[in-house]
Amino acid sequence: MSIASAYFTIRGIDVDVVYKNIKNLHIGVYPPLGRVRVAAPHQLDDEQVRLAVIQRLPWIKDQREQLQSAARQSTREMVTGESHYVWGVRRRMKVTERPGRAHFELDSERLLLYVPAGTTTERRRELLDRWYREQLRHVIPDLIAKWEPILDVSVPRWNIKRMKTKWGSCNRETGHVWFNVELAKKPPACLEYIAVHEMAHHLVRHHDDRFTKLMDRLMPNWRSLRDQLNNSPLAEEQWP
C-alpha cells in the first residue's frame, strides 16, 4: 500500500495527515491533548484536506477542549510522599519544615523541599514553579547557543511561561521564543526538540513540506520526540 504524509497547522492546531488507499477522509482527535490526525484518500491534495479540516473545526475544537480538561493534573498537596517529575525522572518529594530560606534540592532519588513551618500549600506550589523555571534557565542558553550557528539564526530573546496547549512558540518577526515551564518535567531531549522546532520557524513559517524536510535534516528523531511530548499530559497526573 502506498502511503504519503504531511504536517501542517490550521489556526494554531497541528494536523498530521496520512494519505492512504482509502475512499473517504477520516478526522480523529486523540488524547491526551487533542492531536489531530487525518487519514485522506490519495486523490485529495493538501489544500483539499486543509479545507475539510477547516469545515470540521468547531467539532475538532470541542473534542480538544474535552481532552485537555481531562488531561489536567489533580491538585497537588505538596506533601511528603507525593511524586513530581524532574527531567523525565519521577521523584518522591520529602518536605522538611525548618527555619530559614525556603528552597528545593535534589538528592540521588528525591526532591527535597525545605520550608518554614506553616508555609501554605499555595506558597509551596509557587516555590516549585519557580524552581522548575530555574532548571530551564540553566540549560536553555546552551541549547540556543548550540543551534544558532547550525540554523544560522539568532534568538535575541527567550522566556519561560505556562501554556495550556503548546510546548513552545515563537514570534518569527522578532525572533522571540517561549518555552513551556512544564518542559522541566520532561526528558532533556524533548526540550532540545522544542528549541530546534521553534528556531526552525525563523526559517520556515508553516508546518509544510519545507519545514518537515528541514526538521528531518536537523534532527532525524524529531517525530519520536514530538510524539513523546504529545502522548503525555502537559502536567502529569498525581501519583499515589
CATH 3.40.190.10 fits 121-230, yes or no: no
Question: What is the three-state SS of 148-165?
Answer: HHHHCCCCCCEEEECCCC
109 sits in which H/E element? none
pLDDT above 80: residue 19: yes
pLDDT tens digits, 39-62: 999 999 888 999 999 999 999 998
Residue type, 55: Q
pLDDT above 80: residue 4: no
Global pTM? 0.76
The alpha-helical segments, DSSP class H, found in 86-200 are 121-151, 188-200
Nearest to 212, CA basis, from 193, 197, 231: 197
Q: Which three three-digit cell numbers place residue 84? A: 513530581
Give ranges for CATH 3.30.2010.10 in the chain: 121-230
CA distance 168 to 140: 12
